[in-house]
Amino acid sequence: MDKVKVVPVKDTTDNIPLIINPLFIKAKKSKKKSKKKRCLKCKKKLGVMPFNCKCGNLFCSGCRHPESHECTFDFKTEAKEQLERQNPIIKFNKINPI
Protein backbone atom coordinates (compact mmCIF):
# COMPACT_ATOMS: atom_id res chain seq x y z
CA MET A 1 0.00 0.00 0.00
CA ASP A 2 2.71 2.46 -0.81
CA LYS A 3 1.06 3.86 -3.83
CA VAL A 4 1.63 7.49 -3.14
CA LYS A 5 0.35 9.77 -5.78
CA VAL A 6 2.92 12.36 -6.65
CA VAL A 7 1.24 15.37 -8.07
CA PRO A 8 3.50 16.95 -10.65
CA VAL A 9 4.13 20.61 -10.04
CA LYS A 10 5.09 21.12 -13.62
CA ASP A 11 2.04 23.21 -14.38
CA THR A 12 2.91 25.84 -11.82
CA THR A 13 6.62 25.99 -12.56
CA ASP A 14 5.92 26.47 -16.23
CA ASN A 15 4.10 29.64 -15.50
CA ILE A 16 6.97 31.18 -13.60
CA PRO A 17 9.25 33.04 -15.95
CA LEU A 18 12.88 31.96 -15.93
CA ILE A 19 14.01 35.47 -15.32
CA ILE A 20 13.23 36.12 -11.68
CA ASN A 21 16.77 36.76 -10.64
CA PRO A 22 17.60 40.48 -10.98
CA LEU A 23 21.20 39.52 -11.65
CA PHE A 24 20.13 37.46 -14.61
CA ILE A 25 18.18 40.35 -16.08
CA LYS A 26 21.18 42.61 -15.70
CA ALA A 27 23.43 40.16 -17.50
CA LYS A 28 20.98 39.83 -20.33
CA LYS A 29 20.67 43.57 -20.72
CA SER A 30 24.40 44.16 -20.88
CA LYS A 31 24.75 41.39 -23.43
CA LYS A 32 22.68 43.40 -25.86
CA LYS A 33 25.33 46.06 -26.18
CA SER A 34 27.96 43.39 -26.95
CA LYS A 35 30.77 45.71 -26.00
CA LYS A 36 33.81 43.48 -25.87
CA LYS A 37 35.82 44.03 -22.77
CA ARG A 38 39.51 44.48 -23.08
CA CYS A 39 42.38 44.43 -20.68
CA LEU A 40 43.14 47.97 -19.57
CA LYS A 41 46.87 47.32 -19.64
CA CYS A 42 47.61 45.34 -22.80
CA LYS A 43 44.26 45.85 -24.58
CA LYS A 44 43.96 42.13 -25.02
CA LYS A 45 40.42 40.87 -25.49
CA LEU A 46 39.08 39.45 -22.30
CA GLY A 47 37.43 36.08 -22.26
CA VAL A 48 34.48 35.01 -20.19
CA MET A 49 36.44 35.42 -16.99
CA PRO A 50 38.02 38.85 -16.85
CA PHE A 51 39.85 39.72 -13.69
CA ASN A 52 38.18 42.56 -11.88
CA CYS A 53 40.78 44.42 -9.89
CA LYS A 54 40.00 46.42 -6.78
CA CYS A 55 40.96 49.57 -8.65
CA GLY A 56 37.81 49.08 -10.71
CA ASN A 57 39.42 47.98 -13.96
CA LEU A 58 39.34 44.72 -15.84
CA PHE A 59 42.50 42.87 -16.71
CA CYS A 60 43.62 39.71 -18.42
CA SER A 61 45.26 36.90 -16.50
CA GLY A 62 48.67 38.34 -17.31
CA CYS A 63 48.00 41.83 -16.00
CA ARG A 64 45.66 41.09 -13.13
CA HIS A 65 48.31 41.51 -10.46
CA PRO A 66 48.43 45.01 -8.98
CA GLU A 67 52.17 45.19 -9.72
CA SER A 68 51.51 44.34 -13.35
CA HIS A 69 49.22 47.25 -14.09
CA GLU A 70 50.44 49.95 -11.74
CA CYS A 71 47.35 49.49 -9.66
CA THR A 72 45.97 52.65 -8.12
CA PHE A 73 44.19 50.82 -5.36
CA ASP A 74 45.64 51.41 -1.93
CA PHE A 75 46.25 47.84 -0.88
CA LYS A 76 48.51 48.77 2.00
CA THR A 77 45.87 50.87 3.69
CA GLU A 78 43.22 48.25 3.18
CA ALA A 79 45.40 45.48 4.52
CA LYS A 80 46.22 47.56 7.55
CA GLU A 81 42.60 48.39 8.18
CA GLN A 82 41.57 44.78 7.77
CA LEU A 83 44.23 43.64 10.19
CA GLU A 84 43.13 46.15 12.74
CA ARG A 85 39.54 45.12 12.33
CA GLN A 86 40.30 41.43 12.66
CA ASN A 87 42.89 41.62 15.42
CA PRO A 88 42.33 44.63 17.60
CA ILE A 89 44.52 42.97 20.21
CA ILE A 90 47.64 43.61 18.17
CA LYS A 91 47.61 47.19 19.35
CA PHE A 92 48.11 46.15 22.93
CA ASN A 93 51.15 44.06 22.09
CA LYS A 94 53.03 47.23 21.44
CA ILE A 95 53.42 47.80 25.14
CA ASN A 96 56.72 46.29 26.13
CA PRO A 97 56.97 45.69 29.83
CA ILE A 98 60.56 45.22 30.98
Under rule CB under 5 A, residue 71 binds Zn ion: yes
Under rule CB under 5 A, residue 55 binds Zn ion: yes
Beta-bridge partners for 45: 38
Shortest distance, CB of residue 87 to Zn ion, whole angstroms? 26
- Phi, psi of 45, rounded to the nearest 5 degrees: -65, 135
- Which member of 25, 42, 83, 90 binds Zn ion (CB under 5 A)? 42
Determine the distance from the C-alpha atom of residue 8 to the mean position of all C-alpha atoms in its chain, rounded to a whole number. 37
Under rule CB under 5 A, how many of the chain's residues touch Zn ion? Answer: 10
Shortest distance, CB of residue 19 to Zn ion, whole angstroms? 33
SS3 93: helix
